Structure 1
Amino acid sequence: MINVIQAGERYTAEHGWLTSRFSFSFAEYYDPQNTRFGVLRVFNDDTVQAGQGFGRHPHQDMEIVTYVIDGTLEHQDSLGNIGVIHAGEVQRITAGTGLSHSEYNHSKTEPVHFLQLWFLPDKQGHTPSWEQRQFSKEQQRNTLLPVVSGRGVADTLQMNQDVTIYLSNLEQGQTLTHTAENSNRLFYAFVIRGTLDLNGEQMHEGDAARISDEESLTLSSPDGAEFMLIDLV
Structure 2
Amino acid sequence: MLTLYPAASRYSFDRGWLRGSHSFSFAEYDDPTNTEFGPIRVFNDDIIAPGRGFGAHPHSDMEIVSLVLSGQLRHEDNLGNIAVTSFGEIQRMSAGTGVVHTEHNGSDSEDVSLLQMWFMPSSKGLKASYETTRFNPDHMINALLPVVAQQGSAHVASIQQDMTIYVSKLESGKRISFSQAEGRKIYIFVVEGQLTVNEDSVLQDRDSARITDMQQIELGADSSASAFFVLIDLP
Measured against the shorter chain, the TM-score band is over 0.9
- AA in 2 matched with 1:185: R
- Measured after TM superposition, the shift of residue 193 of structure 1 is 1.0
- AA in 2 matched with 1:36: E
2:111 & 2:152 partners in 1: Cα distance? 33
- Measured after TM superposition, the shift of residue 153 of structure 1 is 5.9
Identity within the alignment, %:
45
**Partner in structure 2 of residue 56 of structure 1:** 56
- Measured after TM superposition, the shift of residue 20 of structure 1 is 1.7
- AA in 1 matched with 2:169: N
Q: Secondary structure at the match of 1:37?
A: coil
Q: What CA deviation, in whole Å up to 9, does each residue of 1:85-142 have, x standing for no partner? A: 1122111100000001000001111100000000000000111111111222201111
- Please give the residue correspondences for 1:156-175 in structure 2 after superposition, counting only pairs within 5 Å: 156-175=156-175
1:81 & 1:205 partners in 2: Cα distance? 34
Q: When the two structures are aligned, how many residues end up with a matched partner?
A: 231
- AA in 2 matched with 1:43: F
**Partner in structure 2 of residue 207 of structure 1:** 207
Q: Secondary structure at the match of 1:46?
A: strand
**Partner in structure 2 of residue 186 of structure 1:** 185
Q: What CA deviation, in whole Å up to 9, does each residue of 1:166-185 have, x standing for no partner? A: 00011111111011211x10
1:48 & 1:197 partners in 2: Cα distance? 30
2:74 & 2:189 partners in 1: Cα distance? 24
The TM-score with structure 1 as length reference comes to 0.97
**Partner in structure 1 of residue 70 of structure 2:** 70
**Partner in structure 2 of residue 23 of structure 1:** 23
Task: Supply the RMSD in Å over aligned alpha carbons.
Answer: 1.0
- Extract unaligned runs of 5+ from structure 2: none
Q: Secondary structure at the match of 1:138?
A: helix
For the Cα contact (< 8 Å) 2:135–2:156, is it kept in 1? no
2:125 & 2:152 partners in 1: Cα distance? 23
Q: What CA deviation, in whole Å up to 9, does each residue of 1:57-78 have, x standing for no partner? A: 0000000000000100011001
- Please give the residue correspondences for 1:74-223 in structure 2 after superposition, counting only pairs within 5 Å: 74-150=74-150, 152=151, 154=153, 155-182=155-182, 184-199=183-198, 200-222=200-222, 223=225
- AA in 2 matched with 1:178: F
Moved over 6 A (4+): none
Q: Secondary structure at the match of 1:42?
A: strand
The TM-score with structure 2 as length reference comes to 0.96
